[in-house]
Structure 1
Amino acid sequence: MSTARDLAHTLQKRVWDGSIPLEIRLASADCRSFDDSDPYLIQFPRLSYLAFLIPRLHAFLSRFLIDPDVSPTECWLEYQGVPLKWHYPLGLLYDLYSGSEPAYPSGGTGRRDEAADEQDSLPWKLTVHFTEMPMDQLFKLDVDGKVLHDAFINSVKEADFLRNGTAKTVMSLSKEDSTQLWEGVKQFRPSIYNPINQKLLNPQGSNLRHLPIKLYLPHASSSIKDSTPTPGSLRVVQTPITPALSSRQPQTVGTALNQILPTLFPSRRSPLLAQAVLHGAILPLSTPIEDLTRVGAYLDGWLHIVIVMMG
């Protein structure tokens, strides 16, 4: 019979194994050929960041570029007119913008034909540009990767502060540990990443204060009167959530969403108007969030949960 530790290990492995097939084509404005360039095809981890693809994309597409000497730092990607933020992991971007139906828990009601859904939406078709970067929506990367590194570390620090009321755990990591954490992210190797991440999740002498959760509501601006929603518009909600309720019962997805977004989640037990999606799957509202944080957080320590309207 599996122990709780075995189950947690299995779930964490499934999260790490999650990936999305990508088909990336060069924007016509940057292509020297009258025909489309060859597509760049890859199966890429959900937990990782598209920025790590830039060197390979630039090398593969350089023969098609109008300016083959353009710097890789000019690169940016979009999906159907939506610029994709570098500091968002791929899985979050896909859940936000792909438009595909999320998977239901095993045995859940209302299960759709997931194979048909995937056939319609996969591979995820993206466009890569090397000119006219929308600087009002994206930050420009650098050759050495320092910009992405700093954005990631700042997110890790913010998650650490929420968990412990201080960021001293991550700030006290040795230089070797900090380097190992980032190398685990860059190389996408859990054997390198997990030993350092465990130090962050289980600091000695600290009690878990809050859970690092961000909720993403796509197309949020469309609900604002007399406004014209911009492509990819969304609202990000972040509120301190304790691991347990005042009754000392574990905080669940349902109790947290009812507290943060009561109009969308009037019930703590049943999704009536909206659903919470993490790693492409609908979260049961009964799921304890502390357990979910330990097995399902993204590499920066956050639960990046997308809110999808029903119907």
Structure 2
Amino acid sequence: MAMEQATLNSIQKTIWDGHLSLSITLAPSESRKFDQTDPYLISYPRISYLPSLLPRLKAFFHSSLIDPAAYSPHDGWFSFENVALKWHYPVGLLYDLYAGADPATKSSDTESSSSKDASLPWRLVVHFSDWPGEELVRLDAQGMVMHDAFINSVKEADFIRNGTAKGIMSLSKDDSSGLWKAVQDVDLPAFQRIMNILLPSPSQPFRNLPIRLFLPLPPKPSSDSPSDSSPSLKVIQSPIPPTITLPQSQSQMSQSIILPPAPSRNSPGTGSPQPPLHSQPQTIGSVLHSILPNLFPSRRTPVLAKPVLHGAAVPMSASVEEVVRCSAYGDGWVYIVVRMMG
């Protein structure tokens, strides 16, 4: 049964209210102090992006930098355990990818609580030199690189939802810039007003669903030193229609596998009739089963892995279209992190 709009709005508000505790220190190689500089502590919205913190961090660490005049805020970049963090991903997604407590492995509330306490605050390092050019696109002083990356992501999601990007392309200049500003300011009412222009009405189904799956992979050795390794990611994106066509029952599904194809009108023979089919909304479970059947052999129950979104395990029975409407990040994408169980 579809959730009421009030419930979807409540879920979206809860997501936008979500914060992460961050503890950000200056890279030791850039500090004039012999011991570690005091960290910058902040409770930061999960839907926000790390580069928005750079002006504040540059001011906070100004007196600690060896050569503060040599660098600008947009020279800054972030790392976690020596991994350069992609600035075009929301901080909540980055945390779920690299540091989030795995809800699939928790056997009790006590264990879950202690694990989450151990991973927070999330300890990051900010750098203002040695930009990792092979991994990150450089930022600019005006913030246009970041703005354009966000809008391009919105365009991709809009095209997948509607089969055209006319929606985002026809937005006024004020609404286009206002969408990014609403995410920066965590202004949900302003965001909803503009996003409602882009989203099809509930009575009009999406053409496809904008979802990306992230599979953390085992660390791979560094080319410089085989003993050093860094984690890598596999990002999976596939056209996902809002509905799936299935036989009327599981028994009919089994029959449909062994029944011979029905003969054409011009072919002799009678053949057996095909079982009646019906469409039903795609669920998180049906999507994961179709794209990653080895990890998700069941559509209903997580067996080997769990889907994680905004730090929580997503119910396998959740309607994907409803998840897109209420749980997408600011750019319109649903970013699901696949966590192995056990």
TM-score, normalised via structure 2 length: 0.84
Between the aligned partners of 1:73 and 1:153, the Cα distance in structure 2 is 19
> 1:210 maps to which residue?
208
Residue in 1 that maps onto 2:333: 302
Q: Could you tell me which runs of 5 or more consecutive residues in structure 1 were left unpaired when the two chains were aligned.
A: none
The residue correspondences of 1:160-239 to structure 2 (distance < 5 A) are 160-202=158-200, 207-219=205-217, 230-239=229-238
Q: Which residue of structure 2 aligns with residue 55 of structure 1?
A: 55
Query: 1:32-81: CA deviations, max 9, x gaps?
Result: 01121111000000001001000000010011001111122221110001
Q: How many residues align?
A: 303
**Partner in structure 2 of residue 21 of structure 1:** 21
1:169 and 1:203 in contact (8 A); partners too: no
The answer to whether the 8 A contact 2:104-2:339 is kept is: no
Distance 1:61 1:35 in 2: 14
2 CA distance for matches of 1:45 and 1:33? 30
- Report whether the alignment pairs 1:242 with 2:241: yes
Structure 2: unaligned runs, 5 residues or longer: 221-225, 246-277
- Corresponding residue SS for 2:279: coil
Q: Give the letter aligned to residue 18 of structure 2.
A: G
Contact 1:219–1:229 (Cα < 8 Å) also in 2: no
Query: Structure 1 residues 206, 285: CA separation in 2 closer, same or farther (over 3 Å shift)?
Result: closer
User: Could you tell me how far 1:103 is from its partner in structure 2?
Assistant: 7.8
Contact residue 8 and residue 326 of structure 2 kept, 8 A: yes
In structure 1, distance between residues paired with 2:319 and 2:108: 22
Q: Please say if residues 221 and 228 of structure 1, whose CA atoms lie closer than 8 Å, have aligned partners that are also in contact.
A: no
Query: Aligned equivalents of 1:171 and 1:229: distance in 2?
Result: 45
Mean Cα deviation higher: 41-50 or 72-81: 72-81
The 1-side partners of 2:9 and 2:95 are apart by 25
Matches of 1:210 and 1:66, distance apart in 2: 51
User: Compared with structure 1, are the counterparts of its residues 206 and 11 closer, same or farther at alpha carbon in structure 2 (3 Å cutoff)?
Assistant: closer
Q: Of residues 302, 317, 321 in structure 2, which corresponds to 1:271?
A: 302
Which of 156, 159, 167 aligns to 1:158? It is 156
Percent identity between matched residues is 49
Deviation at 1:5, TM superposition (A): 2.0
| Residue 113 of structure 1, CA deviation | 3.0
Local SS of the residue matching 1:231: strand
Cα deviations by residue, 1:106-132 (Å, 9 ceiling, x for unpaired) = xx9866633211211110000111111
Q: CA deviation at 1:150?
A: 0.6
AA aligned opposite 1:261? L
| Corresponding position of 1:143 | 141
Instruction: Identify the structure with the greater strand proportion.
Output: 2
Match of 2:76 in 1: 75
The offset of 1:230, in angstroms, is 4.7
TM-score (structure 1 length as normaliser): 0.92
